[in-house]
Amino acid sequence: MCLGTGTPSVPVSAPPESFPPRDMQTLSVSDVPDKFTPRCSVVICTRDRPAELDRCLEAVQHLDYPRFDVLVVDNASRDARPREVAARRGFRYVVEPVVGLSRARNSGARHSNADIVAFLDDDSVPASDWLARLVVEFKDPQVMAVTGRILPLNAAPSQERAPSLPGGLDLGEERRAVDAQNPDWFRLANFGGIGNGGNMAYRHKAFDVWPGFDERIGHGTPLRGCEEHYAFFLLIERGYRVIYAPQAVVYHPFPGTLEDLRSRHLRNLGISCGYMTLLFLEHRRHRGAILRYVAQWLKGDSRTWRWQLSENRRITPRWRELLACVPGPVFYFRALLQRGLRRNSDHPKSSSET
pTM of the model: 0.85
Question: Mean pLDDT, to the nearest integer, of 16-38?
Answer: 54
Residue 226 has pLDDT above 50, yes or no: yes
**CA of residue 3 relative to chain centroid, distance:** 7
Instruction: Report long-range pairs for 312-320 (Cβ below 8 Å, ≥24 apart).
Output: 313/165, 314/166, 315/165, 315/166, 315/167, 315/258, 315/261, 315/262, 315/265, 316/166, 316/262, 316/265, 316/266, 320/266
Residue 39: name the closest of 117, 91, 92 by CA: 117
Give all domains of the chain, ordered by start, each with its CATH number.
29-256 (3.90.550.10)
Residue 8 has pLDDT above 90, yes or no: no
Q: Average pLDDT of the chain?
A: 85
pLDDT at position 310, please?
A: 39
pLDDT at position 285, please?
A: 95
pLDDT at position 18, please?
A: 42
3 state SS of 132 = helix
pLDDT at position 344, please?
A: 53
Residue 218: name the closest of 293, 119, 148 by CA: 119
DSSP tag of 17: S
pLDDT at position 140, please?
A: 97
Residue 24 has pLDDT above 80, yes or no: no
The contacts of residue 35 (CB under 8 Å, 6+ apart) are: 29
Q: Is residue 29 within 8 Å of 65, Cβ to Cβ?
A: yes
CA distance 148 to 202: 12
Least confident of 194-203, 208-217, 258-267: 258-267
Tell me the pairing of strands 116-121 and 40-46.
parallel
Residue 121 has pLDDT above 80, yes or no: yes
**CA of residue 319 relative to chain centroid, distance:** 28
CA distance 205 to 111: 13
CA distance 68 to 135: 11
Query: Residue 25: which H helix or E strand, with range?
Result: none
Tell me the pairing of strands 241-252 and 143-152.
parallel
119 falls in which pLDDT band (50, 70, 90)?
very high
Least confident of 1-15, 17-31, 55-69, 191-205: 1-15
CA distance 64 to 27: 8
Q: To the nearest whole percent, how much of the chain has pLDDT over 70?
A: 79
CA distance 32 to 56: 24
Question: Mean pLDDT, to the nearest integer, of 233-248?
Answer: 97
Tell me the pairing of strands 92-95 and 352-353.
antiparallel
